[in-house]
A and B are shown apart, each in its own frame.
Chain A
Amino acid sequence: MGSVASCSCGSEKKQEKERLLRANDRSYNLSFHYAKNAIKTSKYNVFTFLPLNLFEQFTRLANAYFLFLLVLQLIPQISSVPWFTTAVPLLAVLAITAVKDANDDINRHKCDKQVNNRLVNVLVDGHLKKEKWMNVQVGDIVKLESNHFVTADLLLLSSSEPLNLVYVETAELDGETNLKVKQALTVTGEMGDNIEALSTFRGEVRCEPPNNRLDKFKGNLTINGQTYGLDNDKVLLRGCTLRNTEWCFGLVIFGGPDTKLMQNSGKSTFKRTSVDHLMNVLVLCIFGILATLCAIMTIGHSLWEDKEGSVFTVFLPRVPDVDVPLSSFYSFWSYVIVLNTLVPISLYVSVEMIRLGNSFYIDWDRKMYYPKNDTPAQARTTTLNEELGQIKYIFSDKTGTLTQNIMTFNKCSINGKNYGELFDFSGQRVEITEKTQRVDFSWNQLADPNFIFHDYSLLETVKEGNPEARAFFRLLALCHTVMPEEKKEGELNYQAQSPDEGALVTAARNFGFVFRSRTPETITIMEMGRKVTCELLAVLDFNNVRKRMSVIVRSPEGKMTLYCKGADTIIYERLHPSCKKLMDVTTGHLNEYAGDGLRTLVLAYKDLEESYMDGWRQRHHEASTAMEGQEEMLNELYEEIEKDMTLLGATAVEDKLQDGVPQTIEQLAKADIKIWVLTGDKQETAENIGYSCNMLREEMKDVFIVAANTAEGVKEELQNARRKMCPEAAEEPSVIKARAGLFWLQKTETVRDEKVDGDYGLIINGHSLAFALEKDLELELLRTACMCQTVICCRVTPLQKAQVVQLVKKYKQAVTLAIGDGANDVSMIKAAHIGVGISGQEGMQAVLSSDFSFAQFRYLQRLLLVHGRWSYLRMCKFLRYFFYKNFTYTLVHFWYAFFCGFSAQTVYDDWFITLYNTVYTATPVLALGLFDQDVNDRWSFQYPQLYSPGQLNMYFSKKAFVRCMMHSCYSSLILFFIPWAAMHDTVRDDGKDIADYQSFALLAQTCLLVLVSAQVCLDTYYWTALNQLFVWGSLAVYFAVTFTMYSNGMFFIFTSVFPLIGAARNSLSQPNMWLTIFLTSLLCVLPVLAHRFIFMQIRPTITDKVKYKAQMEGQPAPARRLPRPRRISTRRSGYAFSHSQGYGVLVTSKRFLRLKSRSALFTKTDTALVENQPQYYRTITEEPEKSQG
């Protein structure tokens, strides 16, 4: 839909320069005529619907064209066909679209009404009064309560929280699910919830005019002559939700359409499919063909008029004042009218209907329905279906898309003993399933009920008092940066910055080492039910180089210990030599974990001497306050203390993949779809996931890692990779420049795919990617990346995600799909041809901007391999048939012109022309577009290769169109000349005329209809009862309507409207009529059959083969389920921390703790185990990350 109506609000007054308003002073504020808080997303009302909607519809080229034709038909000199032949189909098309638009608008009205009628407390005349949202005005003071939606853009005045803070969730605005803090001015905050003070408040606000910048606000507030500056921290935007705040008061600054939310909405870009583009080009071609045909007709006409017409004037005098050139000119337009059906009027409507139908199939598919959270798949955009069958590149997010973003503490190795696996009596490993008995943690009142562990022996070891095991969990409980939240006694909630940490701390909690609370100086834990408060002496923070974090604590007994956890390689270097033996055993375990795709961490500790510690702390203090070289000094200190540690063990956390991810990726790879993972994660994590979801495989020839820090370095690494994969490839990329699109206005640049032997993988990190995406390197990146089977980009920003997609879109001319779940994927989802959102999770932003959504990554294969493929197949068949049917139909007029003096005489009856596209041939082709399938879904899965014709544009292209036109030419020649030859000098069986115009028209149109019905049957693979019904029904309707229209009764009622009275009765009783119909149809159908059969024998396509196999075997053999092979790799999974540096400082900063002491810093989730949140680009980091490894 266009945005015609949305401009209505802005135009009524001149641009606002500045906004002035005064609290509690309605009359003053009203003088500015600011928009009220009512919103209107609907486009029409009862009165404007018809004119506006019609106007909108006629802005579409096709409709405008037919309107133009209608006008032409009203010109008597030109009109070759009565006006209704165009008017009836046009009205039908307009009506269908109007009904759809009306329905959409009614829904929007309902939605608006619901929002506008929400209630909010407004301060009116010193009292709080419930008001509807739409009645709230600029300058009003409203009271919001916890979990309320913010009514309008408000200036925060006061809140229930200390320091006048409020917490808001902005998911609806920007998709970020973490809470944001807003703080009111102290002056206004003092009013608290004192109604009296608030109602006498007369502050004046002067601020910027309405705009769509979410992150900026400029203005000031004047109270009693004092002026205070206002910034974004002091405004609550509409669309946010108030959280963890009992109440707050706000002053309405922008209402309704002026709010930043509304200013941001309604500017969605329309995606069009490649078939759409092709269709536009073809329609343009058809206009060209039409013009050519009409020009030929015009020449014919002038020749005829010159030679024949001039002497035939005895019986057909010329129209006065119309000489040959003028009449030729008229004839051009007359033929435009006659041949207009080359441009099929119902094409666009039918295409929309088919897409809509195919979208419904997606919504209805039970195999894409996720019962766990009751989420069906959803086709949010209903106009992109066939593009799903042409995907060449998939860009996937990792967290939440490939993985569930659930970390589970899975295994651990403590003091050389491996826990977490189950063995039966014979020592065989038992596979852990849902039904396996879980360890019972009920003895521990603080345990997290969602924590699942299966190995009893670990708990027993801990209970027995094994010192290493206890130290192990003590470490996990102490060494982290998690924030606890305990709203009620015993109801602990952890807010971890990375889910890994959450998982580890939760594990410790369940095994009896409960992390309870922290202050900047202390950490309190419950150690097997005993409360222990340790003094936190230092946090040796994590960063990318260190790949470890440590804490130094002093136990109540006064013992000082350093606890350290980190990547195995790093920790191993810093262990005391005495641990050698333990290290070997643990290494074995680590390899095992890595082989299972688990994320590992090694834990170590070191007891510290009081005396040494004093000195160290002193130096630490100096270093942290140093003005210069602070970082180096700290690093040195850390390095010094973190050595000669004692190994405790290792943990293994599972980054749980979603179900069926490896299988899905394998299937998609078989369908020749390239999958690129774009993740914000660290390289190691991403690589690890790459292995566990089968994207990177052991048998790959090489996996290149591009991690250079300079442009030259990146270039060299990319080139080296390329040379290794394809030594013979040219050094310079060959860019093929071409023009395409409407009027060939669009310039395209294409980089060809280059053939590579064997599979390769490419991993590139964010830093390198930034260089690689520069203008001079992007082609190098593209070439190298496209040679690889798998590409993983790590540490990617949302913007880079979109850039990568754009890059492939630009140079590959291939259809791309982006799939993701979070707000950081939005840019990529919008950039790709098709965006898919993972629904049913917390953030809805990705889903809201996506075209399709479903709950699980694995549904992607069904979406593409089944729905996409079918949609593409259907759409292409539909288009081919549709063009065929209209060309065949129209070209008969062309041939007839040579026999009727180029007089624009139609072959068919006017009513046939009117009803041909809208009634007689409308339904069978719709059935083709809605029900056809070459092979069923199970075979589609069995042979993902069936997907490739779509990627190669094989079913519908310019070539196919030309073929289709040639076929039409042949058919129309047959359709005209066979009846001509059969009728031109014969008579009926009672000696009367048969070669009269009406009989001939009837014969030609009957032949045509029988033929196109036969052709649609030929094109249908999948004959459902409905297909049959529509085909036979259409024929039956044709005969019924024809006999009715040509009946006596109709002639009595509308004398001159149906002049073909009796033609049907008189002609269709003639055997040679039927013999001709039969002959014509078979003559058109048999060559097609023979051609198809022979080509199927000589060059069978994959589809032919699978169809044949399906015919022979019925259902495919059930897919073999190979257990996932254990990797025998030495590749150790990396450091598991997926969080960023600088967090330790926050934890120990007093300011931080004071500020956030009560409220949630991060989003809460129901499962404490899972801290389900975006891991990147949060606003928390005080220091931006400086370097990456």
Chain B
Amino acid sequence: MVKEKKKSPDRPDNTAFTQQRLPAWQPILSAGIVIPGFVLIGLAFIGIGVGLFITSRDIQVLEMDYTGTEASSDCNKCAITNTKNCMCSLDFNISTLFKGPVFFYYGLTNYFQNHRRYGVSRDDSQLYGDLTNFKDPSTDCKPYRVDSNGKPIVPCGAVANSMFNDTFKLYQNVNGQRNLVPFDGKGIAWWTDYNVKFRNPSVEPLKNAFNDTVKPLFWTRAVYELDFSDPSNNGFLNQDFLVWMRRAALPNFRKLYRRITEGDYKEGLPAGNYTLEISYNYPVLRFDGRKKVVFSNVSWMGGKNDFLGIAYLVIGSLCVVMSMVMLIVYAKFKFPEDN
């Protein structure tokens, strides 16, 4: 070996790599694999599709618009005026038990939370409780960085500024009596948002941290007094605030407002008449937006979504059809003949 090396020092090494002989698997698209493969995939898809479709069909969704553009709507009075906390109500009827836990959402359409300038207009460090950013919010927040007097806005930015501020109360009408349906507002935001991403400054009381700052221009109350009923639900850790700050990907979206999990409504909303009392604040008419509320329950696959089931069914069937076509082509042309 050594001797041979000496004799021909420039002889290339004989390895599978250098000689391009690496062991390899060379699959080819043979009929025996492709056609049964398509059939199998098709059948699997149909199976999944059926499962998804049935699951999705069992999910109940009740969606109601309360924008109030139509004169018939009770909210019409609030929509056309611009009074704060204008109260209007929405009556509706549930014919069968709405299985719990029921989730209650508000929805907005034609609302561009995904606009780039809107999306970047926030200061994550400030929201993380960084007091330096209280005094000097990030320039990203423009034009909601400082107010006209030059005082920093906390929380700054367009996202925070535009926080949804309609509030809802749900009553069940039982024999002419209005029973308040208890709303559960805890844990509606992402765990990571609540525990990691957002943090109040560690100043006691919280209010002091906000000295020399102003609340967002659009807001009626400062961020540290969003929830009078629960002091811990204030500041940046307010659940509604957290939900709002997680901006939507698409211009039509809904966001979780409350869950209905307590008391008599633990098992869901029983059949009957209900009234939703709305404190109407949020202006959407200017930009042709719609406001709606959604009641929904969920399954293992999340909320109601017929698309996936149908898509799986359709594609599964197409696969089976395709395999037939390929079979016919194969039978007819039968590759390869002799060279």
Contact = CB atoms under 8 A, between A and B. Distances in A.
Interface of A: 80, 308, 311-312, 314-317, 319-320, 334, 360-361, 363-367, 369, 371, 374-376, 870, 899-901, 903-905, 931, 933, 936-937, 978, 980-1001, 1021-1027, 1048, 1051-1052, 1055-1056, 1059, 1061-1062, 1065-1066, 1070-1072, 1075-1076, 1079, 1082-1083, 1086, 1089-1090, 1092-1094, 1096-1098, 1100, 1102, 1104-1105, 1107-1111
The 9 closest A-B pairs by CB, nearest first: A1062-B192, A1000-B249, A987-B303, A364-B18, A991-B103, A903-B116, A315-B162, A1056-B124, A905-B116
B24 A1022 contact: yes
A369 B24 contact: no
A936 B247 CA distance: 54
Nearest to B163: A315
Contacts of B339: 1102, 1105, 1109
Given A1023-B25, A1065-B192, A374 B115 contact: no
A143 to B, nearest CB: 35
Contacts of A314: 162, 283, 286-287
B308 interface: yes
Contacts of B330: 1097
B110 A308 contact: yes
A544 to B, nearest CB: 44
B41 A995 contact: no
B256 interface: yes
Interface stretch (B6-14, B72-80, B264-272): B6-14
Contacts of B110: 308
Nearest to A334: B116
Given A985-B305, A1096-B335, A308 B26 contact: no
Nearest to B4: A371
A903 B115 contact: yes
B119 interface: yes
Contacts of A998: 246
Contacts, number: 298
Interface in B216-261: 218, 243, 246-256, 259
A1 B218 CA distance: 61
A312 B105 CA distance: 22
A74 B158 CA distance: 22
Nearest to B338: A1105
Contacts of A986: 302-305
Given A903-B117, A991-B259, A1055-B124, A1094 B326 contact: yes
B115 A982 contact: no
B197 A1051 contact: yes
Contact of B143 (A319, A334, A1026, A1055): A319
Interface stretch (B89-97, B172-180, B206-214, B292-300): B292-300
B308 A982 contact: yes
Contacts of A991: 101, 103, 188, 256, 259, 296, 298, 303
B128 interface: yes
B333 to A, nearest CB: 4
B308 A1023 contact: no
Contacts of A1055: 124-125, 128, 130
Contacts of A80: 116
Contact of B333 (A315, A1083, A1097): A1097
B112 interface: yes
A1107 B301 contact: no
A312 B112 contact: yes
B298 A1024 contact: no
B118 interface: yes
B114 A1108 contact: no
Contacts of B112: 308, 312, 316, 900-901, 903
29 contacts: A308-B112, A312-B286, A364-B18, A365-B18, A366-B12, A366-B18, A900-B112, A903-B118, A978-B311, A981-B307, A987-B302, A988-B298, A993-B254, A995-B248, A996-B248, A996-B249, A997-B119, A1001-B249, A1023-B24, A1059-B197, A1062-B193, A1071-B302, A1075-B312, A1079-B308, A1082-B41, A1089-B34, A1094-B329, A1097-B31, A1108-B335
Nearest to B14: A366
Given A364-B13, A369-B10, A937 B192 contact: no
Nearest to A933: B20
Nearest to A984: B250
Contacts of A1089: 29, 34, 38
Contact of A1079 (B121, B192, B305, B312): B312
B28 interface: yes
B19 interface: yes
Given A1062-B190, A1090-B38, 5 more contacts: A900-B116, A901-B114, A991-B103, A993-B253, A1065-B192
Contacts of B190: 992-993, 1062, 1066
A1090 B321 CA distance: 11
Interface string B304-335: 11011001100100010010011001100111
Contacts of A982: 305, 307-308, 311
A129 to B, nearest CB: 37
A1075 B52 contact: yes
B197 A363 contact: no
B131 interface: no
A376 B249 contact: no
B205 interface: no
A335 B189 CA distance: 33
A287 B333 CA distance: 43
A1051 B196 contact: yes
B267 to A, nearest CB: 16
Contacts of A315: 111, 118, 158, 161-162, 218
B158 A990 contact: no
A324 to B, nearest CB: 14
A937 B20 contact: yes
A208 B30 CA distance: 74
A1098 B332 CA distance: 9
Given A315-B158, A1076-B308, A905 B119 contact: yes
Nearest to A989: B302
A132 to B, nearest CB: 29
Nearest to B139: A76
B12 A365 contact: yes
B249 A999 contact: yes
B298 A1023 contact: no
Given A1096-B29, A1096-B335, A1090 B12 contact: no
B27 interface: yes
B23 interface: yes
B115 A900 contact: yes
Given A80-B116, A1086-B41, A317 B143 contact: yes
Nearest to A1001: B249
Given A995-B249, A996-B246, A1097 B334 contact: yes
Interface string B118-155: 11010111001010000000100011000000000000
B235 to A, nearest CB: 17
A320 B144 CA distance: 12
B111 to A, nearest CB: 8
A1096 B302 CA distance: 42
B114 A1071 contact: no
B336 A1072 contact: no
B2 interface: no
A365 B247 contact: no
A365 B20 CA distance: 9
B78 to A, nearest CB: 16
Contacts of A988: 298, 302-303
Contact of A901 (B45, B115, B121, B299): B115
B86 interface: no
A851 to B, nearest CB: 19
Choose among B20, B22, B334 the residue with the greatest number of A CB atoms under 10 Å from its CB: B20
A361 B18 contact: yes
Contacts of A1076: 308
B114 A900 contact: yes
Contact of B197 (A319, A931, A1062): A1062
